Structures are given as C-alpha cells and as structure tokens.
Structure 1
Amino acid sequence: MTKALKRPSISGSTLKIFAIITMMIDHTGAAVIGPLRYSSPEGMRQFFTALYPVTRAIGRLAFPIFCFLLVEGFIHTRSTVKYALRLFIFALISELPFDFALADRLFSWHHQNVYFTLLIGLLVMMGVTYFEQRPAKNAPQRWFFLLMEALILAGGLYLAQRMYTDYGFKGVFLIEVLYFLRFDRRLQSVFGAIAISWENWAPLSFILVWFYNGTRGKQMKYFFYWFYPVHLIVLGFFKLAITGQFRL
C-alpha cells in the first residue's frame, strides 16, 4: 500500500517569520530601491526600476497574514486588554520610524503605521464580542445588540480611514471578515482572499493560511513586536544616505 501524502502544516511562528520577511522586502523597496531608481548611476537605474515593483509585489503577502494572526491572537490571548495595550504602545513607538523611513520626515499626519490598523481591528473584535456574548432577554434587546455590533464594525472602518492608517478601512474590513469566519479555515481563506483582492498578489498569502496547523510554534513574541520599528529605523538611515532629504 502506498502511504497517503501528509498535508503540509505551518505554525504561527513560521507564518510570522514569512510575514516579516516579505514586509521587510516591501519596505526596502519603498524606502531604498525606490529612491535608487533616480539617484543611482545611469547603468544601474534600469535594474532598480525593474526591481522596485517586484519588491512591492512580494510585500503584498505580509499584511493578510498579520491580520489572520491578529484574529488568532485575539481568540487565544489570556487578556485582550493587555493585547490591545501592547499594540497601542508599539503603534506609538513605531510611528516616528515609520515616517522616517517612508515619508522623508520625522512625523506626518498623512499616513499612520500598520500597528494602528491592527489595533483598530482588535478593538472592533473586542466590542463585537462583548455584545455577542451578552444574553438578550427579548427581541428588542437582541436587535439593540445587533445595532451596536453594526455601529462598532462601521466605526472601525471610519476610524481607520479618518486616521489614514496603513491599508485604511480596507485593512480593518479584512480583519472583520477573518473574525466572523474564524471557525472555518476554508471560508477564512476564500473570503479573506476576496476581501484583499484589490491588492495584487496579496490573496496568495491565504495559501499559507490554509496550511496553518493551529500551533504557536517557537515563541519570540517581543522580537516580532520590535522588529517593525527597528527595521524601519535602519531603512530610514539607508534612505537618508541615498537621498540626503529629511524634514521635521
């Protein structure tokens, strides 16, 4: 008898490593490769011009995985309040590095880092869950709870767009889709891919999500949190060396 092929499985830490590598490639393209298209010697400009869209395309794979892992973290965390506080702290820590690397200045109101998007998505899940878990005593109360959930969902979309967070309301919408389909990986993968289909290549990340085995894998929690601002600082200095442009 031939042995049945074992389905590949991917742990949470493996997904995170894949996400941060593709994210770093994306940010390297935006912060370093992009400027090199114009400031490099004539013979190299064509190379960097061709390389730039490749780095940005690879980077599209990162965000859906971060959204999926956010939902998984929300489901399994012991304290959603502490989880939200960590995201908020690192959103603040990361804002200056984010602007330094990607906006040519130390602070910009026009684009906030992805931690804010994830934080809004987490707050939406917390709010919706609060009303989902409250027993409705009668039909009017049940309709009131449904109305509150709808307002929370809409409020999260509005807040993300109003704050100009990375991926805006579309990013929070993806988190909401993954949250409501959290008990069915197949539906998560299919409708998650549809929800992010406006970003070229991003739906492919749900191939990896499909093979997620539900385990956390190697624990490097604060490494993943700190990687985001630290790699942006490094890229910011590379960009500064290339362009020489910086404003407060």
Structure 2
Amino acid sequence: MDIAELIQFLNYSSTEGKYFVFFRDRPPKKGGPGLVVGRRSKLGFETIVSDYFPVSEQGWAKAWETLAGMDRQEFERCRSTVLRNSTRFKLHSDDLQRRLEIDQKTRKLLGGSIYLGGHSPHVQLNENSAYDLRFTDDSLTILNVGSLRTLSSFPYRTFTNFQITGPGEISVRTTDSELFFLNTRTEPGRLRIDLSAVLGRINEVLNPAASGERAEPDPSAASIINQLKDASSLLERGLITPVEFEQLKSRLLSGG
C-alpha cells in the first residue's frame, strides 16, 4: 500500500497489547510526521519508546525491526494482528471506493424509504420494511438500508409513470412492475423539490425529442429503407420488372 493508505491503515487498525507501531504527526519544525513504536502500560497509558522513522516503506520496516528487538513475542503478536487487520482494511477500503463511485453517479438517495406494497417479477420486497432508493442518471436502484448490494434496478426507459402521490408517498410504475414507497425522512414539501432533477432526467429519457436529444433510429425502419434501395437498384439494372418492384415494395411497407 502507498503511504496515504498506510496512514489510513494505522488509524483503522487497532492492536491490543504491550507494544504497537503507529503514526505520529509533528509540526515541521520538530521534524514532521513519522512512524514510532509505542508502549502501552497496564493502566492504558501510551509512551513512545523509539526514534521517529520516516513515513516510507523503509521507515515502516525499521519501526518493526525496532519492535522485534524490544520484545520478540510482542512483535509476533502485533504482526499477526496487523496481517489480520490488513485483510479487513482492504475490504474496508474497497467498500469506501465503491461507495464513492456509486455516490458520484447518484442524483438523489432516499434512505430508509418504507415499502408500502406493490408487485415486481424482479425483486421480492417486504412490506413495511425500509430500503434505500438510489436515483442515478439512468435508473432507480433499490438496496438494503446502508448497503451497496443492489436488490433490483429499474431503468428509466421502462418507466410508464413516476409520481409523488401524497405526503412522502412515491409510486413507481414500469412496464411490468408497480411499487409504492413512503419516505418520512424528508419533509413532504421538500421531497418534490429534491426529486425535481430526477423527474427531469426521467422525462429526458422517456421523451428524448422534447429534451433536444436525438432519438435513436428504429432499426426495422432502417432495414426497410435499405431493402427498398436494393430493390430500386435491381429495377434500374433490369434484373426485376416494374411489377415485381411494386409487389416487393408493397410487401416491405406492409411488414410482410
């Protein structure tokens, strides 16, 4: 891990026992920050018992060499604790990074929204239980409260209706689902304001022409146009008759 991660790890990792290695900040005029070996008394008082080592890989190694020279048994105990905590710290760091990435994509988070009822083939929610609703640029994601594990995600392009139907009540209708939630953490009058950007984004996705976005061409229409061009080319080259061309054009335009 780099030095920033090392400092975070030392702040995150807790070691119990007589000796430990930790980060100590000092003003520049006193030498600046460093890594030191500390000693904890039976009453819990902590004392620095080593020199300051630079906050680097070399300083990290030197601090542990110093601790090993003081008490080999404590060194092995601390080493085992740090190795165990490093795995926990990695999971902790990964979780923080993932949460940061998700937060950056989230337009609005409605934490602790109560599921009132409804139906969906994509997720089984418990009525009167709380869930987090994350509104991103393209979808509504439902998660357990405080969790990053997605229970289900509903793309805005599948929405048929999205309304704030009453004080804190939210209804979501998609092509195959209908869900109702109640959010009491936000004042009813404020909820509509907080969700205005989300409502605007949903409208953009469902009505790209109205929002100035270029609608994606219908692939079936493009195919028909290409086939008509090919048929016209065949007619010009005398490979089909005008009657055959009209019959082919009629079939293509009728979807046959």
Bin the TM-score by the shorter chain: under 0.3
Q: In proportion to residue count, which structure has more strand? A: 2
For the pair shown, the structure with the greater C-alpha radius of gyration is 2
- TM-score w.r.t. length of structure 2: 0.21
Structure with more of its chain in helix, by fraction? 1
Q: Provide the TM-score with structure 1 as the length reference.
A: 0.21
Name the structure, 1 or 2, with higher relative contact order (CA <8 Å, separation 6+): 1
